[in-house]
Amino acid sequence: MPHSPVDPIALTADLVRCPSVTPEEGGALVLLEKLLTDAGFDCTRVDRGGVSNLFARWGDKDAARTFGFNGHTDVVPLGDEAAWTMPPFGAEQKDGFLWGRGATDMKSGVAAYVAAAIDFVHTTPPKNGALILTITGDEEGDAVDGTAALLDWMQENGEAMDHCLVGEPTCPDELGQMIKIGRRGSLTAWITLTGEQGHAAYPHRANNPLPAMARLIDRLSSHELDQGTEHFDASTLAAVTIDTGNPATNVIPAQCRATVNIRFNDAHSGASLTDWLQYELDRVTQEFGVKAEMEVKISGESFLTPPGDLSDLVSKAVQAETNMTPELSTTGGTSDARFIKDHCPVVEFGLVGKTMHQVDERVEVALIPRLKTIYGRILRDYFA
């Protein structure tokens, strides 16, 4: 029976209709597993810690070259559902867009690649080549049991990718503008300063932690971490909250809490930044006589896949299909590429990300088959 090409628009719509808000699977991975299995892929569910993940392989384990793809089907919460003008899981098409949570981030990217991969192995199956897809249901959450679980399972079962493409939306305004060849690291620090509660009319009988926290946050915020590196913008620190939980105007509180988030380039590590934060914290405790506690979470270290064969391959495919030379960038937040970079070279390329995480998230319908075409060219060129 002749192969019928997979419609990536219809597949995007089917995935958007799955209410897969992290960590709910919502039917999205079940749908993909059946589609890929029917197309001749060997599929394995790699669920861990209440998170659903899917591993799919076409071709032999001992193939000369194995090309990987990573994506996610989980989505962020809806926010104010009453603010949506279209059903958030309706996948309705209007004004040239397909509307719904996950339409941009990143069910359209997953659909485009799955459609391209299935068509590729049916029309031009690579000799002595293999394809691997790793699809997680926990990219938007803690990500402890998502792509990390898939990579752990792969190592235990002798599975490996030689190169990997992540299908996150990477383009700011037009398809073809940008490829991600790395990402900044992310660190969050929760700081608590403890003084001594007292009456606001008798501040000498208390030890107010607020001036100490104000001094600390000022020092952290005004400090220039760096001026950028060859492939990265300057690192940034943002104070995201300062709070005492004190409703009284005549009470000096005993504690003040603050949270800062640092997005850092390859001039730093999570450990070096933690040491710097601790140094500044120690200075303030000595100056103001307060006690201090700090909890640090490093969501990911900065990483870079240096420009080379993989970025050249993707760039040439993008340029051939869009007539646009993509910028090689490291901007934006974190992605699951931060886990894959320890396994194999990885780059990211996908659609325009303007509406991701927003109310009325939507994707331009005409771009989905164009992305499928780009992904198909990448596969053909890789195995040529």
**Averaged pLDDT for residues 158-182:** 98
- 1 band by pLDDT with thresholds 50, 70 and 90: low
Cα 274 to Cα 121, 187, 190, 228, distances in angstroms: 47, 9, 11, 19
Q: Per-residue pLDDT tens for 119-131?
A: 999 999 999 999 9
The CA–CA distances, whole Å, from 190 to 90, 129, 257, 293 equal 39, 47, 7, 8
Q: Is the pLDDT of residue 102 over 80?
A: yes
User: What's the pLDDT tens digit per position in 183-225?
Assistant: 999 999 999 999 999 999 999 999 999 999 999 999 999 999 9
Indicate the range of 68-72, 254-258, 268-272, 333-337 predicted with least confidence: 333-337
Q: What is the mean pLDDT of residues 301-324?
A: 97
Q: Which percentage of the chain shows pLDDT scores above 90?
A: 98
**Angstrom distance (rounded) from CA 119 to CA 291:** 62
Is-same-fold flag (8-183+302-383; 185-300)?
Answer: no
- Model confidence at 333, in pLDDT bands (50, 70, 90)? confident
Two tokens, residue 360:
């009325």
- Residues acting as catalytic residues: 74, 139
Whether 142 shows a pLDDT value over 70: the answer reads yes
pLDDT of residue 73: 98
What stretch of H or E contains 122?
Answer: helix 108-123
Q: Which two tokens stand for residue 269?
A: 């590590």
CATH for the 185-300 domain, from 2.40.110.10, 3.50.50.60, 3.40.50.300, 3.30.70.360: 3.30.70.360
pLDDT digits 0-9 by tens, 342-364: 999 999 999 999 999 999 999 99
Q: List phi, psi (to 5°) of 292.
A: -135, 145
**In the chain, where the domains are located:** 8-183+302-383, 185-300
Expressed in percent and rounded to 5, the helix, strand and coil fractions of the chain are: 35, 25, 40
CA distances from 35 to 6, 43, 59, 103 (A): 10, 10, 17, 19
Helix, strand or coil, per DSSP, at residue 28: helix
223-233 burial string, b = 16+ CB within 10 Å, else e?
eebeeebebbe
| Residue located via tokens 């700090």 | 294
CA distance 270 to 275: 9
Q: In the CATH hierarchy, which fold is given to the domain comprising 8-183+302-383?
A: Aminopeptidase (3.40.630)
pLDDT at 138: 95
Q: 235 is written with which tokens?
A: 């690192």
Per-residue pLDDT tens for 238-266?
999 999 999 999 999 999 999 999 999 99
pLDDT, the chain, mean: 97
pLDDT recorded at residue 96: 98
CA distance 143 to 174: 29
Q: What is the pLDDT of residue 306?
A: 95
pLDDT score for 3? 80
Nearest CA among 304, 300, 232, 212 for reference residue 261: 300
